[in-house]
Amino acid sequence: MNEHDQKRIEQLLKNSLPPVSDRVQAELRHDLWPAMLKRLEADPAAVPWFDWALLAAVAACLAFFPGAIPVLLYHL
């Protein structure tokens, strides 16, 4: 693809999809904090799944090998 083609496609793009930077829409019209608070209340920060998996693995290990409990307590 030559430079002329590139320039022409760029020109077509800018005419068909004008930059948002030139428009009013680029500016936020209202504070989004109330929406953020709603989101935080609706979906409080969850414990990551791998933390639950790790906990399950440790519990299973202790159930099958109770002898490991003193070792675990020693390292805590």
Question: In whole angstroms, how close is the CB of 40 to other proteins at the nearest point?
Answer: 7
Segments of the chain assigned E as strands: none
Would you say 6 or 65 has its CB closer to other proteins?
Answer: 6
Token match 């090998």: residue? 65
User: Could you give the CA distance from residue 76 to residue 69 in angstroms, rounded to a whole number?
Assistant: 11
Question: In whole angstroms, how close is the CB of 17 to other proteins at the nearest point?
Answer: 5
Q: Identity (one letter) of the amino acid at 46?
A: A
Residues that bind other proteins (CB under 8 A): 1, 5-6, 8-23, 25-28, 31-33, 35-36, 39-40, 43, 45-46
